């Protein structure tokens, strides 16, 4: 289906939603005669060969998309650091192990979590695209909207207790988005995988954890805004996910004090670094 036609269909459904409140998506599609078209698009989005890219969510969730697009979640497969580390990791394996999809999944289970249910050939293709730096072919496989919010069967979940009905997908509330454990799958290092981020384990032992300060409280700042176009004003969360690569975040994370003194004929300089956050700095 051509992009212009798809946009026109979305606009038509939106208009029907306004003039025919209470109609289900299927009923509205029947009015447009486009049931088959949307069914095909839904099957394509359901991930056999390609997952649903974040750009599909942009028209309704513009602010979240703009923030996410500048985040390192959006670059989870395409940053120079990841491509270099992923290549070195695979090179360190024997040829037979390197060709096995599960070898790639030691990294991709976090950097491309939608691949966890993918067929082996898809994993091999994504691996090849990463190594060849064919980044334009990786859209939708990164840590995007689907990776965190898809609850399966066309349902998207989030931290809003009373999500507003819409004609594009079903929505439901989940308390898990308010808990630090939501981040644990990809920010806890297990000995059976590639050593990487372990901030969640550090956090669990911290005073911050004991007083209920979660990962989200530092890395997903709250503000008043609309979760979706035309939606009510709510408490929403930043999707930039600032961390160790953010100068502003680093300034809040550590303090550095220098002292210098002569001892005999030498100048001795002592640097004292104080960590102000509930995990190691740097990490990962």
In degrees rounded to 5, what are phi and psi of residue 268?
-105, 130
Has residue 10 got a pLDDT over 60?
no
Q: Pick the closest to residue 234 from 179, 178, 161, 166 (CA basis).
A: 161
Measured CA to CA in angstroms, residue 230 lies from 53, 150, 267 at distances of: 22, 22, 64
At residue 283, the 3 state secondary structure works out as coil
pLDDT at 30: 45
Beta carbons of 92 and 100 less than 8 angstroms apart: no
If you average pLDDT over residues 239-244, what whole number do you get?
93
Q: H or E element: which one contains 236?
A: strand 233-237
Beta carbons of 44 and 37 less than 8 angstroms apart: no
Could you read off the pLDDT of 119-161 as tens digits, one per residue? 999 999 999 999 999 999 999 999 999 999 998 888 999 999 9
Could you read off the pLDDT of 179-194 as tens digits, one per residue? 999 999 999 987 666 7
Has residue 23 got a pLDDT over 60?
no
Could you read off the pLDDT of 91-101 as tens digits, one per residue? 998 888 888 99
The band of 166, judged by pLDDT with boundaries at 50, 70 and 90, is confident
Most confident of 11-15, 74-78, 190-194, 226-230: 74-78
Listed in sequence order, the residues at least 6 apart from 222 whose beta carbon sits closer than 8 Å to its beta carbon are: 235, 236, 237, 238
Sign of CA dihedral 93, 96, 99, 103: negative
Q: Pick the closest to residue 70 from 228, 246, 247 (CA basis).
A: 246
Identify the residue with better confidence: 125 or 49. 125
* Dist. CA 166–CA 8, nearest whole Å: 17
Q: Is the pTM of this model over 0.75?
A: yes
Has residue 26 got a pLDDT over 50?
no
If you average pLDDT over residues 224-250, what whole number do you get?
93
Average pLDDT over the chain, rounded to an integer = 84
Indicate the DSSP class of residue 94.
-
- Pull the structure tokens for residue 36: 């088959």
């Amino acid at each position: 289906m051509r992009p212009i036609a798809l946009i026109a269909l979305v606009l038509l459904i939106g208009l029907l939603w306004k003039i025919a409140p209470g109609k289900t998506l299927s009923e509205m599609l029947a009015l447009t005669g486009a049931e088959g078209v949307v069914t095909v698009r839904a099957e394509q989005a359901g991930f056999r060969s390609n997952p649903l890219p974040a750009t599909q969510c942009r028209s309704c969730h513009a602010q979240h998309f703009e923030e996410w697009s500048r985040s390192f979640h959006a670059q989870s497969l395409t940053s120079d650091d990841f491509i270099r580390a992923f290549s070195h990791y695979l090179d360190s394996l024997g040829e037979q192990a390197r060709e096995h999809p599960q070898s790639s999944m030691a990294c991709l289970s976090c950097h491309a979590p939608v691949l966890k249910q993918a067929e082996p050939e898809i994993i091999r293709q994504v691996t090849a695209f990463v190594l060849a730096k064919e980044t334009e072919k990786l859209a939708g496989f990164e840590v995007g909207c689907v990776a965190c919010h898809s609850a399966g069967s066309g349902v998207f979940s989030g931290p809003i207790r009373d999500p507003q009905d819409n004609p594009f997908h079903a929505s439901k509330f989940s308390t898990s988005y308010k808990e630090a454990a939501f981040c644990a799958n990809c920010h806890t290092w297990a000995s059976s995988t590639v050593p990487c981020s372990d901030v969640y384990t550090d956090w669990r032992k911290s005073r911050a954890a004991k007083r209920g300060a979660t990962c989200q409280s530092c890395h997903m700042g709250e503000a008043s805004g609309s979760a979706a176009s035309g939606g009510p004003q709510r408490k929403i969360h930043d999707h930039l996910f600032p961390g160790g690569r953010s100068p502003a975040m680093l300034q809040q994370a550590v303090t550095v004090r220098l002292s210098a003194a002569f001892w005999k004929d030498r100048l001795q300089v002592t640097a004292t670094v104080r960590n102000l956050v509930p995990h190691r700095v740097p990490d990962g």
